[in-house]
Structure 1
Amino acid sequence: MNNRYLKACTLARAKHKGQMYGDLPYYVHLEAVSRLASPFGTNAMIVAQLHDVMEDTGTGINELISDFGFVVADAVKYISDSQLPDRKARKEEINGRLSVLSPDEESARIALIVKACDRLANVRASLSCKENYYEQYQMEHADFRKAVYRQGLCEAIWWELDNLLRHSEAS
């Protein structure tokens, strides 16, 4: 395994210590996102490990730049939710930010991939969790897809995500 990736795993576990993802330690979610991001390279896996560290732990951009460089830090920043008070406002803000990213920029490309992987991991988890986040993801899907999807970028992730959410529409 790559030392930078192991460093990201260690940092993410330390920063998210005590946080839960449903009934599981938070790192379980980070590992799921990282596995989905693995076909897209080490930087994508690193960003997957760190994707919630700025919004959930107060970790600053300078710490990420120092430890992982500008590409990773910028990608994490792109996909970090703002601190707006309600989910709808946060999602509108981040969707607006993500909708203008160009996959020609490496940080933006990685951010778009990891954001899709994160959503797929969340949708998969919501299918077996007692909280009913699945319907929330379904309601948000059209706006999320419009903001994050780029043709030719992580098509297999989008295929599964679209199919999981479409399946629920038929139920």
Structure 2
Amino acid sequence: MEDARSFAIAAHAGQLYGGKPYETHLAAVVQVLDDFGFGEEYCQAGWLHDVVEDTPIELAEIRSLFGDAVAAMVDAVSGIGPTREVRNARIYGGLKACPAAAAVKLADRIANVEAAPAGSEHRARYRREADEFEAVVRPCVPPAMWSRLERALA
């Protein structure tokens, strides 16, 4: 897992998340996955989940370095496209094709919501997207993990 961590930190070098190094967000995603007992491939995907979406690195490199299972999860959660609607549609299609990736996407959403200030536009956007997100993600994740998102959004 250390290889994925190092790779992701290098790939996101110079990027910020809420004014902090991007590593802060990635570590929060991996912590959520670890909190619910997800194993190494999930945690690798957690470190790498934004690499294809936010850096020039291509999925083929992720696949060659980390294997097919990790690459499939990263691909499934990569929101690529010109608008949030298009990016979300790509992710929802990816999660339907690779249900295992739903845990990574939920960990990402939990980390984002927990980091967003109460009353922020970020939280409001996640609430607006909640029904569609729930329809795709909730059937594929542990109930306790889903409950954590609900608590964070409350």
Cα distance in 2 for partners of 1:63, 1:148 equals: 27
For residue 137 of structure 1, the aligned residue among 108, 116, 126 is 126
For residue 14 of structure 2, the aligned residue among 18, 24, 29 is 18
Give the TM-score taking structure 2 as reference length. 0.91
Q: Which residue of 1 aligns with 2:89?
A: 92
Report the structure number with the largest CA radius of gyration. Answer: 1
- Counterparts of 1:1-171 in structure 2, within 5 Å, are 5-38=1-34, 39-82=37-80, 84-98=81-95, 100-101=96-97, 108-127=98-117, 132-150=121-139, 153-165=141-153, 167=154
Cα distance in 1 for partners of 2:137, 2:42 equals: 15
Cα distance in 1 for partners of 2:121, 2:113 equals: 10
Give the TM-score taking structure 1 as reference length. 0.82
Cα distance in 2 for partners of 1:17, 1:63 equals: 17
Structure 1: segments with no counterpart, 5+ residues: 102-107
Q: Residue 29 and residue 70 in structure 1: after superposition, are their counterparts in 2 closer, same or farther (change >3 A)?
A: same
Say which SS state the counterpart of residue 57 (structure 2) adopts.
Answer: coil
> Once the 2 structures are TM-superposed, how far is the Cα of residue 88 of structure 1 from its aligned partner?
2.2
Counterpart of 2:85 in structure 1: which amino acid?
K
> Once the 2 structures are TM-superposed, how far is the Cα of residue 59 of structure 1 from its aligned partner?
1.3
* CA deviation string 1:31-87 (max 9, x = no partner): 0000111211111110000000001012112211111111111110111012x2111
* CA deviation string 1:99-141 (max 9, x = no partner): x23xxxxxx343111100000000001136x952110111111
Counterpart of 2:126 in structure 1: which amino acid?
Y
- Whether contact under 8 Å (1:51, 1:79) holds in the other structure is yes
- Whether contact under 8 Å (1:31, 1:49) holds in the other structure is yes
